[in-house]
């Protein structure tokens, strides 16, 4: 998967100021997300620990601080998992059936089955294992511990769901690092944090991708 044979993704022109995604930029982005999570959480945890020690009357404030320390990372993870949230039933079932047929032709048997079960398509790449939905994608990094959540979609809002996935899949296959550059990173963090916030029907897709990512060198 890559841009060697086909040139860069044309959409890169619209985000010319962004550095091209690579192993190095993804690792750095992951560390920055962790750092920012720690930055948000530690002050609240510190307040929750110190305030009651100074004066027991401040216990309610300490409890609120504790709740904040838990809530902020959870909200971030929820934002990330929302990128692959199912968008509801098809508005035009006939068109959806046609689009689903083409998507089925583009992917293998296993991905087809997984899509039928979860609404997501699994695609192995050089940066990790991707789960592509109709308005976003998850990148499970090699080893399966960290997940990058990307908000990215086809620009025509009237497309059937499977066509929207096909758009993203074709762009991803054309130029993986270009795809990761064009997409907006909504969240990066531990797999378990994303999984907890995923809709239940989509969790098996993440589990399959993690298994695949563990075997990715």
Partner 1 sequence: MPRLIRLDQTGHTTLAQWSAEDAASVEAASAAFRSELDRGYFAVVSQGEGHAEHVRELPLDAPLVILRRPIAGG
Instruction: Tell the burial category of 200 from Cβ atoms under 10 Å away from its Cβ (0-12, 13-18, 19+).
Output: exposed
**What is the rounded distance in angstroms from the CA atom of residue 150 to the CA atom of residue 137?**
5
**What is the rounded distance in angstroms from the CA atom of residue 217 to the CA atom of residue 213?**
8
Among 67, 71, 158, 199, binds partner 1 (CB under 8 A): 158
Region near partner 1 per CB under 8 A, out of 56-64, 140-148, 149-157, 201-209: 149-157
Among 48, 83, 127, 206, binds partner 1 (CB under 8 A): 83
Contacts (CB under 8 A) with partner 1, residues 182-201 = 182-184
Binding status of residue 57 toward partner 1 by CB under 8 A: no
Binding status of residue 72 toward partner 1 by CB under 8 A: no
Q: Which is nearer to partner 1, 54 or 156 (CB)?
A: 156
Binding status of residue 117 toward partner 1 by CB under 8 A: no
Q: In what order do the strands lie in the sheet with 121-124?
A: 121-124, 129-132, 136-140
Q: Is 152 left (phi over 0), alpha (psi -120 to 50) or beta?
A: beta
Binding status of residue 7 toward partner 1 by CB under 8 A: yes
Among 115, 146, 148, 167, binds partner 1 (CB under 8 A): 167
Q: Which is nearer to partner 1, 135 or 213 (CB)?
A: 135
Region near partner 1 per CB under 8 A, out of 50-58, 152-160, 197-205, 206-214: 152-160
Which long-range contacts (C-beta less than 8 Å, at least 24 apart) are formed by 2-7? 2/126, 2/175, 2/176, 2/177, 3/174, 3/175, 3/176, 3/177, 3/178, 6/174, 6/175, 7/175
Q: Which is nearer to partner 1, 33 or 44 (CB)?
A: 33
**Minimal distance, residue 100 CB to partner 1, in Å:** 8
User: For residues 18 and 119, is the Cβ–Cβ distance under 8 A?
Assistant: no
Binding status of residue 171 toward partner 1 by CB under 8 A: yes
**What is the rounded distance in angstroms from the CA atom of residue 172 to the CA atom of residue 56?**
55
- SS3 label, residue 155: coil
Sites of contact with partner 1 (CB under 8 A):
1, 5-7, 9-11, 14-15, 83, 92, 94-102, 106-108, 111, 123-125, 135-136, 150-156, 158-160, 162-163, 166-168, 170-171, 173-175, 179, 182-184
């Amino acid at each position: 998967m890559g841009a060697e044979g086909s040139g860069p993704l044309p959409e890169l022109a619209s985000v010319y100021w962004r550095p091209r995604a690579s192993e190095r930029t993804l690792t750095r982005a992951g560390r920055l997300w962790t750092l920012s999570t720690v930055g948000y959480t530690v002050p609240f945890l510190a307040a929750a620990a110190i305030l009651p020690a100074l004066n027991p009357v401040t216990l309610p404030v300490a409890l609120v601080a504790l709740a904040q320390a838990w809530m902020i990372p959870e909200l971030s993870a929820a934002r990330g998992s929302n990128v692959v949230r199912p968008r509801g039933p098809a508005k035009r079932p006939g068109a959806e059936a046609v689009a689903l047929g083409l998507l089925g032709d583009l992917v293998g048997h296993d991905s087809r089955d997984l899509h039928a079960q979860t609404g997501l398509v699994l695609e192995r790449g050089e940066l990790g294992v991707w789960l592509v939905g109709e308005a976003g994608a998850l990148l499970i990094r090699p080893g399966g511990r960290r997940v990058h959540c990307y908000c990215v979609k086809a620009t025509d809002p009237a497309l059937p769901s499977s066509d929207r996935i096909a758009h993203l899949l074709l762009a991803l296959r054309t130029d993986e690092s270009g795809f990761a550059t064009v997409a907006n990173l909504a969240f990066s963090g531990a797999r378990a944090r994303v999984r907890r916030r995923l809709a239940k029907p989509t969790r098996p897709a993440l589990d399959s991708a993690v298994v695949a990512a563990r075997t990715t060198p």
